[in-house]
Chains A and B, each alone.
Chain A
């Protein structure tokens, strides 16, 4: 069981579904949510300031299309400011985007591991557990 997951999506229903699926699948001990990229960055800033704690989300689910700050802008800032500090971060893009160029673009970030479609189901999370345990 991983310690912390960060779920970034502006859709509150999707956030709710993820929380429910997470608890059903016993996937992560703690789910952090952010409604846009800026809020997620604020969270990382807070983590970075709190010296000593090495508990941080090793897995991030990221929607692309969000108000205030979208997924790509978040990725740019994160890679630049925090990736070095939180090197075990793996990002999965969750998007309803059908634009094929989005997939191409997402692959260019070193921390992005996959591009998946919503909804995130209990089965998906259950299947993820053994994969995540691997280094």
Chain B
């Protein structure tokens, strides 16, 4: 028993209990005569039954029912497309699992050579609420399918034609579009992407006027399109999506049938820009011609002025308006007698550029003129060189002066040309070095041979350094050079290096000065200063030692006299001798001390300054000599309110006040009680101390010059040594102050001391 029979048996056995056999047989008959191929698949998808129609169909392809039945559905359909096969398998499975009430698909017959299309319908067979199997039904739909495909092909063909047309439109670089009666875009080609920056879809339905640059709206309203006539070369500006403007040149036509405008717009921005550039360029040329510092004008072949720039107006005093279209020789009749006439004619007739310098025919100017022949006529540049002419004249005068100076100077002026290694000398050279040498030394080597061998190495170093550094243009050197008589002169040589653009020296101009005597004097002076300093130091040392040697025995004498004080002396003569001895010793001691004070003051100018209370210092001094001051019945008035402090050296101030006070006591008038008046005042940059008394005074007419001198005495009074005022003056001046005196004989004296602050 083959497989199919067995399956049918199984099927029949399973259904026998439920279905009357007659009914079953009738059903089979119907099934076998239906024009559709019908089969049954079990729940595993095995085809367990196929009707006669199916059997008949496959027999056309030499396949038997036995070969068909028991294959798995839908594998037996042999669907070529994998995706479709998957989809179909899933659909069938869903029906068998009751997830789908029905599933249909289309399939191409795998056996037939011709295209045979079937529609497959799979639906479940339900018994007792469960699926026991499914029916599959294949209906031939080849005719319908073929018609469908034909329609599709026809449609595709039409689309291709449309696409190609659009392609052609899109290929166009020009903007091709149509508007409806309201002026809305209906169709736009893709050129709008490049020209306007919009996608075609963005423009459709938009009123074109929205796209036009506002300033051009008026122009748009005026434009009329006449029916039947093309509008050509209409220009306007559109606003691109990015806001920039684009110049478009339009051709448009109204189509009555479609009731549409058909337009082609060409982007002419590039042309526009070129035009604008040309305008700008022309303006620039004009500006340049006007701004060139030369006067510039052109004349045509008939000498008629065709161009006249601003500078030409200035130089000639003739405005452009007055000059244009006039004959140059009629404008400047004077010029016909000058170089202008002959030179311009030569330029035109010989067709060569001419260049000359000539006075202006109308103004007091010097002009530097260049004229170039051209096809149109002549282009003339004329430059005002009056200033340069004047400068040249000044240079000439300066040169003359220089010549005169070099003739009279004692310096040797020289001029060295680097390229030719040639030296030329001014007049001073012969005078300085001897007249033979000027002829002998004509180049650098000859001069170097004259330099003292000891000075040569560093002279050469310094010279080479100055020479090689491009930024150095001056040099100076002191050295010895041999004169024609063989002796050496010490000279100061100064030079100025002239360099070319690359910094290479081309020429050196300089002067040599004989400083031999100057140097000698300098050396003598230095020697003298050295000797004097030496002598001064030695003298100072000598003075210190001498005064020391004086003072040691003198101190002993004082010491011995001091010891004698308490020893009673009975011999009156001895007492007198000892008293004389004491006085002399004391006087000698005081003198030596004064001299030492002078020495200290002169030898040490740098004393320590400090802020001092004048009153405090004065009181100290007063107490030192109080006895002698009080003996003289002195009345002292002291007023330091205006300037109580002074910036000075303490010991000097003590010494000064002591000397002034003792002087007042020493040179007091015996006819009246001594009165001393001390006041201070501030003068802004200094403090003044006024010290006056009512003493015997001095005859300043006689003594003023000697008053502050060393060992100058004007009165025969005890203890008058002529040292005090000398010391006072020395001490004040050592610290930058000054002292002045006013005095009248038998009236009194006033010293004014000025301390710097």
B574 located at the interface, meaning its Cβ lies under 8 Å from any Cβ of chain A in the complex: no
CB–CB A21/B562 < 8 A:
yes
- Answer whether A14 and B559 are a contact pair too, CB < 8 Å, given A99-B544, A100-B603: yes
Instruction: Give Cα A50–Cα B556 distance, bound, in whole angstroms.
Output: 35
Among A11, A98, A117, A119, contact of B562 (Cβ-Cβ < 8 Å) = A119
**Shortest beta-carbon distance, A36 to chain B, in Å?**
15
- Name the one of B559, B566, B603, B604 contacting A118, with C-beta atoms under 8 angstroms: B559
What 0/1 pattern do residues 527 to 567 of B give for CB contact below 8 A with A?
Answer: 00000000000000000100111111101101110110110
Is there a chain B Cβ closer than 8 Å to A65's Cβ? yes
- Whether A98 contacts B544 in the complex (CB less than 8 A), given A117-B555, A118-B552, A119-B555, comes out as yes
Name the prevailing secondary structure of the B interface residues: helix
Does B8 sit at the interface, judged by CB under 8 A? no
- Does residue A121 face the partner (Cβ distance < 8 Å to B)? yes
Known A17-B560, A98-B596: A65·B566 in contact at CB below 8 Å: no
Contact status B556-A98, CB under 8 Å: no
A77: Cβ under 8 A from any B Cβ: no
A32 interface residue, CB < 8 Å from B? no
Residues of chain B lying within 8 A (CB to CB) of residue A119: 555-556, 558-560, 562
> What sequence of 0s and 1s flags, for each residue 44-87 of chain A, a beta carbon within 8 Å of any chain B beta carbon?
00000000000000000000010000000000000000000000
**Number of residues on chain A facing chain B (CB within 8 A):** 21
Chain A proximity mask over B561-596: 1 for CB below 8 Å, otherwise 0? 011011000000000000000000000000000001
B556 touches A17 (CB 8 A): yes
A24 within 8 A of B: yes
What is the CB-to-nearest-CB distance from A133 to chain B, in angstroms, rounded to a whole number? 24
A13 interface contact, C-beta 8 A? yes
B551/A96 in contact, CB under 8 A: yes
Which residue of chain B has its CB nearest to the CB of A118? B555
Q: Is A20 an interface residue (CB 8 A)?
A: yes
Which residues of chain A from 100 to 135 have any CB-CB distance to chain B below 8 Å in the complex? Answer: 100, 117-123
1/0 per position for A15-31, CB-CB distance to B under 8 A?
Answer: 00100110010000000
Interface residue tally of chain B, by bracket? 20 to 34
The answer to whether B552 touches A98 (Cβ under 8 A) is no
Assembly CA distance A98 to B596 (angstroms): 7
Q: Are B548 and A17 in contact (CB under 8 A)?
A: no
Known contacts A118-B552, A119-B558; is A98 also within 8 Å of B599 by CB? Answer: yes
B652 to chain A, nearest CB (A): 13
Q: Chain A residues near B550 (CB, 8 Å)?
A: 96
Given A96-B548, A119-B562, are A11 and B556 also a contact pair (CB < 8 Å)?
yes
CB contacts (< 8 Å) of A11 on chain B: these are 552, 556
The residue in chain A whose Cβ has the minimal distance to the Cβ of B597 is A98
Contact of A17 among B547, B563, B604 (CB under 8 A): B563
CB atoms of B555 and A98 under 8 A apart: no
Residues of A with C-beta under 8 A to B560:
13, 17, 119
**C-alpha gap A96/B589 in the complex (Å):** 12
Report the separation of the CA atoms of residues A96 and B554 in the bound assembly, to the nearest whole angstrom.
10
Q: A97 to B596, alpha carbons, bound, how many Å?
A: 10
Q: Are B563 and A122 in contact (CB under 8 A)?
A: yes
Q: Which residue of A lies closest to B607 (CB)?
A: A100
Chain A contacts for B603, CB-based, 8 A: 100
The verdict on A14 contacting B547 (CB below 8 Å), with A21-B563, A98-B596 known, is no
Contacts of B604 in A (CB 8 A): 100
Assuming the A-B contacts A100-B600, A100-B603, are A14 and B555 also in contact, with contact meaning beta carbons closer than 8 angstroms in the complex?
A: yes
Find out whether the CB atom of A13 lies under 8 angstroms from the CB atom of B556: yes
Least Cβ distance of B52 to chain A in Å? 150
Nearest to B557 among chain A residues (CB) is: A119
A24 contacts B556, CB within 8 Å? no
Interface flags, B83-97, vs A, CB<8A=1, else 0: 000000000000000
Q: Which of chain B's residues have a CB closer than 8 A to the CB of A99?
A: 544
Residue contact A98 to B548, C-beta cutoff 8 Å = yes
- CB-based contact B547/A98 at 8 Å: yes
B286-319: CB near A (< 8 Å → 1, else 0) gives 0000000000000000000000000000000000
**Judging by beta carbons under 8 Å apart, are B556 and A120 in contact?**
no
Q: Which residues of A contact B555 (CB under 8 A)?
A: 14, 96, 117-119
Q: How far is the CB of B730 from chain A (nearest CB, A)?
A: 15
Contacts of B548 in A (CB 8 A): 65, 95-98
Closest to B562 in A: A121
Cα separation A40 to B603 with both chains bound (whole Å): 33
For A24, give its contact among B547, B563, B596 (CB under 8 Å): B563
The interface bits of chain B over 258-298 (1 if a CB of A lies within 8 angstroms of the residue's CB, else 0) are 00000000000000000000000000000000000000000
Contacts of A24 in B (CB 8 A): 563, 566
Residue on A nearest B543 in the bound complex, by CB? A98
B600 touches A20 (CB 8 A): no
B513 to chain A, nearest CB (A): 47
Nearest 9 pairs of A and B residues by beta carbon: A119-B559, A118-B555, A96-B551, A17-B559, A119-B555, A98-B596, A13-B556, A96-B552, A121-B562
Q: Which residues of B contact A (CB under 8 A)?
A: 544, 547-553, 555-556, 558-560, 562-563, 565-566, 596, 599-600, 603-604
24 contacting pairs across A/B (C-beta < 8 A): A11-B552, A13-B560, A14-B555, A17-B556, A17-B563, A20-B563, A24-B566, A65-B548, A95-B548, A96-B552, A96-B555, A97-B544, A98-B544, A98-B600, A99-B544, A118-B556, A118-B559, A119-B555, A119-B559, A119-B562, A121-B559, A122-B562, A122-B565, A122-B566
Known contacts A100-B604, A122-B563; 4 further A-B pairs (Cβ under 8 A):
A11-B556, A13-B560, A24-B563, A119-B555
State the A residues within 8 Å of B (CB). Answer: 11, 13-14, 17, 20-21, 24, 65, 95-100, 117-123
